[in-house]
Structure 1
Amino acid sequence: MKYLLAILAFALISGCGFRPVYATGSNANYASGMITVPPIAGRSGYMLRRALQEELAIGLPNVTEPATLRVEVDENLTRLTFKPDGAASRSSVVANARYTLSRESGSLSGRSSSEVNFAVPDSPYGDISAQKGASDRAMRLLAKRIVDDLRLELVED
């Protein structure tokens, strides 16, 4: 009886046009509403694109037509402090981005940056992991700053 009810429930859900929010494959919508973010080169670019899609999921004010947000990102790792033996103890990931939101009614361009500092672990593999974690945090922060800048600019229009 339970199986019959489960099958009936799934049949009703699929009949109403239900689609999972986190769908994968051909049903996945990679455009954030009406704003498309083309692929950005590199691992950091991939993380930035994903963060931008999350930030843009609710859209932007006064954007009612399809738009494209193109972003170029540059990321640098800097060693800030060193131990007496010459090994780094603190590092910084700095990400700079140039972005352009293109739509039929015009385009907006700007620049944004983010910086994330982190302690360097003693193990080499720990350092690689810390760098990736800091890079990911820098990309999420950069995406938030880009979308916040766009929201401020678009509210004034």
Structure 2
Amino acid sequence: MNRFIAPALFVLMLSACGLQPLYSGGSKGAVASTLGTISVAPIEGKSGWLMRNALNDRLGGQESSNAQFRLIVALDDQIEGFGVRADDTVTRERRTLRARYQLVSIATGETVLDATAGSDAGIDVVSSEYATIAGENSALENLTQKVADQIVTRLSIYARGE
């Protein structure tokens, strides 16, 4: 009997804390409906192309003619060497991707959300230049996915009205 009472009390306490699912209502909910009305403006460069694709995958790739909001993203992509040997060769790099993004209402032109997101990754520099470049590219692909997730999470919180 006691093993049923403890989980029941836990469920009651959890519902009393005010936590609610972000995507409640599924595809018809407020968050999904708002995210589906966002078009992503073109973003400059290779990192911009990767970021725009990642965002469109998460937002549904809204055509700009049907959109209510426009997402404008500016990226800062940096690679910095920080592991150095005695002969001044770099052994480790850090790739940092930062995004400043603005959600603009198409109807009014008002910026309704202005925020930043970012992440970084470490890259081993090896004797093969090809392997190092491949590592840098893989890091960029992973970083764009992480930053896109951060952006969509923040857009979802905005769409929920918090």
TM over 0.5: yes
2:95 is equivalent to residue 90 of structure 1:
no
Provide TM-score, normalisation by structure 1: 0.69
2:101 alignment partner, one of 95, 99, 102: 99
Deviation (angstroms), 1:95: 1.0
Provide TM-score, normalisation by structure 2: 0.67
Q: SS of the counterpart of 1:114?
A: strand
Quote the residue 1:155 is aligned against. Answer: 160
Quote the residue 2:133 is aligned against. Answer: 128
Separation (CA, whole Å) in 2 of partners of 1:58 and 1:47: 14
Q: SS of the counterpart of 1:73?
A: strand
Q: SS of the counterpart of 1:77?
A: strand
Amino acid at match of 2:57: E
**Do the aligned partners of residues 70 and 58 (structure 1) sit closer, same or farther apart at CA in structure 2, a change above 3 Å counting?**
closer
Separation (CA, whole Å) in 1 of partners of 2:58 and 2:94: 24
Quote the residue 1:111 is aligned against. Answer: 116
Deviation (angstroms), 1:134: 0.8
Separation (CA, whole Å) in 2 of partners of 1:150 and 1:71: 13
**Do the aligned partners of residues 74 and 58 (structure 1) sit closer, same or farther apart at CA in structure 2, a change above 3 Å counting?**
closer
2:39 is equivalent to residue 39 of structure 1:
no
2:59 is equivalent to residue 56 of structure 1:
yes
Amino acid at match of 2:152: V
More displaced, 96-105 or 41-50?
A: 96-105
Equivalenced residues, count: 122
Amino acid at match of 2:99: A
Q: After the TM superposition, list the runs of 4 or more consecutive aligned residues in structure 1 that deviate by more than 4 angstroms.
A: none
Separation (CA, whole Å) in 2 of partners of 1:76 and 1:92: 8
RMSD: 2.3
Quote the residue 2:9 is aligned against. Answer: none
User: Deviation per CA, 1:61-95, whole angstroms, max 9, x where unpaired?
Assistant: xxxx6211110101100112123332222211111
CA contact (8 A) 2:92 2:124 kept: yes
Identity of aligned residues (%): 26
Separation (CA, whole Å) in 2 of partners of 1:92 and 1:100: 26
